[in-house]
């Protein structure tokens, strides 16, 4: 009976030692969290293994994530997966549909998301500033050039072709005008002023012929003159000469003859009043997008997802290098508290750690049993 008692004592002591040492080893993975000192002497095995090697662990985790987990090949494979693309397209379409059919405005969205007020005024100011800069830059480049060197050849050709048409149009409009009652009255006034300016001779001619009779004689001649081909040719030649002079003028000379500020102001006004985007800023999405909703949702969104997929797939390596994902993981792990890490690991592997403790007790008890047998036989 005494031998059995000794054997049980040996088994119990071995089991306690084995379970305790395994339990202690598990706790020493995390604890203590900080070094423990007695005076200037640091107690061995403090801090625990994971707190002590946190930097190395973070570095290795970062490399492991980049090398084996989040690899360009794996992400590219996911991006090319038809099911993933379909899910992303459906999600994007729903999000876009919700936005386009909402009563939200661009101004309201900007105010809520980025706290930006007066979007329209800001956009108008930026547009005006852009026009000023572009016009001034353009003029700086062409001021010393001739107008003919600035205008594209196809526009110059069209302008040259318009000169004969302009001469013909002038003659046609002249005939129409002087054939009308208004034109005849104007011609009568011109004749009256002409004769009045000739003094006595003019009064005598006006008295003997009468103004109405003189107009009746002059009007057909004026119309005949305008209908004559030679008149049209003369006007055409004059216009050609003037147009040739204009083409040879430098842009700086033309700039001096016009009011540049008025031209730029007119251009700004036209852009702001004619481009609808300035009105859209203060209107609900549902109002100004209604004609385009189907096209945007069914055509543009899938094409946008496809384009985004191609762009990301082709630039994954460069993007991941620029992101420095391994450094991101390393920084996150280093910033992770050891207490939280311990709680997280234990919550996942508590059962396994208990089994390791029990295994230590089992092994310690087995060793104690063997030692007891050896003691009894020896």
Q: What's CA 377's distance to the chain center, in Å? A: 87
Residue 195 has pLDDT above 70, yes or no: no
Residue-level pLDDT at 200: 54
Average pLDDT over the chain, rounded to an integer:
80
Q: What is the mean pLDDT of residues 328-353?
A: 73
Residue-level pLDDT at 43: 72
Share of the chain above pLDDT 90, in %: 5
Q: Which residues contact 42 (CB under 8 A, 6 or more apart)?
A: 35, 36
**pLDDT higher for 297 or 23?**
297
Lowest average pLDDT, out of 40-44, 126-130, 151-155, 270-274, goes to 40-44
Q: Which residues contact 51 (CB under 8 A, 6 or more apart)?
A: 30, 32, 33, 34, 338
Burial of 191 (0-12, 13-18, 19+ CB in 10 A): buried
Residue-level pLDDT at 125: 86
Sign of the dihedral through C-alpha 135, 136, 142, 143: positive
The answer to whether the beta carbons of residues 96 and 297 sit under 8 Å apart is yes
Each residue's pLDDT tens digit, 263-275: 888 888 888 888 7
Residue-level pLDDT at 202: 46
The answer to whether the beta carbons of residues 378 and 3 sit under 8 Å apart is no
Residue-level pLDDT at 90: 93
Residue 207 has pLDDT above 60, yes or no: no
**pLDDT higher for 258 or 231?**
231
Residue-level pLDDT at 1: 63
Confidence of residue 92 (pLDDT cuts 50, 70, 90): very high
Residue 32 has pLDDT above 80, yes or no: no
Residue 54 has pLDDT above 50, yes or no: yes
Q: Which of 42-51, 273-282, 283-292 has the highest mean pLDDT?
A: 283-292
Cα angle value 20/25/30 (rounded, 5°):
130
Token pair 């946190």: residue: 54
Lowest average pLDDT, out of 38-47, 194-203, 269-278, goes to 194-203
Residue-level pLDDT at 252: 83
**pLDDT higher for 2 or 123?**
123
Each residue's pLDDT tens digit, 131-167: 888 888 888 888 888 888 888 888 888 888 888 899 8
33, 41, 91, 345, 355 from 349: Cα distances, Å: 20, 34, 37, 6, 10
SS3 367: helix
* 8-state DSSP, 53: T
Counting every residue written for the chain, the total comes to 378
Confidence of residue 304 (pLDDT cuts 50, 70, 90): very high
Residue-level pLDDT at 157: 87
């Amino acid at each position: 009976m005494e031998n059995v008692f000794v054997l049980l004592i040996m088994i119990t002591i071995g089991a306690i030692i084995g379970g305790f040492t395994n339990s202690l080893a598990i706790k020493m993975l995390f604890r203590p969290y900080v070094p423990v000192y007695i005076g200037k002497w640091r107690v061995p095995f403090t801090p625990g293994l994971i707190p002590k090697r946190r930097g190395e662990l973070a570095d290795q985790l970062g490399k492991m994530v980049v090398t084996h987990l989040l690899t360009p090949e794996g992400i590219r494979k996911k991006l090319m997966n038809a099911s993933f693309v379909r899910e992303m397209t459906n999600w994007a379409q729903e999000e876009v549909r919700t936005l386009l059919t909402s009563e939200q405005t661009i101004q309201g969205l900007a105010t809520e998301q980025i706290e930006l007020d007066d979007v329209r005024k800001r956009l108008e100011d930026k547009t005006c500033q852009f026009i000023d800069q572009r016009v001034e830059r353009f003029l700086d480049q062409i001021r010393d050039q001739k107008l003919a060197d600035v205008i594209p050849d196809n526009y110059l050709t069209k302008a040259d072709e318009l000169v004969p048409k302009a001469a013909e149009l002038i003659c046609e409009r002249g005939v129409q005008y002087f054939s009308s009652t208004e034109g005849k009255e104007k011609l009568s006034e011109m004749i009256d002023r002409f004769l009045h300016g000739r003094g006595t001779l003019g009064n005598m001619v006006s008295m003997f012929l009468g103004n109405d009779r003189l107009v009746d004689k002059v009007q057909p001649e004026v119309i005949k003159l305008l209908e004559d081909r030679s008149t049209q040719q003369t006007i055409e030649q004059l216009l050609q000469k003037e147009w040739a002079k204009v083409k040879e003028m430098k842009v700086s000379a033309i700039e001096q003859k016009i009011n540049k500020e008025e031209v730029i102001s007119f251009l700004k006004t036209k852009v702001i009043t004619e481009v609808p985007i300035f009105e859209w800023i203060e209107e609900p999405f549902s109002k100004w997008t209604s004609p385009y909703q189907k096209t945007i949702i069914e055509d543009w969104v899938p094409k946008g997802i496809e384009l985004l997929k191609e762009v990301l797939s082709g630039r994954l390596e460069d993007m991941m290098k620029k992101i420095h994902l391994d450094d991101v993981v390393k920084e996150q792990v280093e910033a992770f508290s050891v207490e939280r890490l311990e709680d997280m690991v234990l919550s996942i592997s508590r059962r396994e750690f208990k089994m390791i403790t029990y295994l230590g007790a089992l092994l310690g008890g087995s060793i104690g049993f063997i030692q007891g047998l050896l003691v009894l036989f020896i």
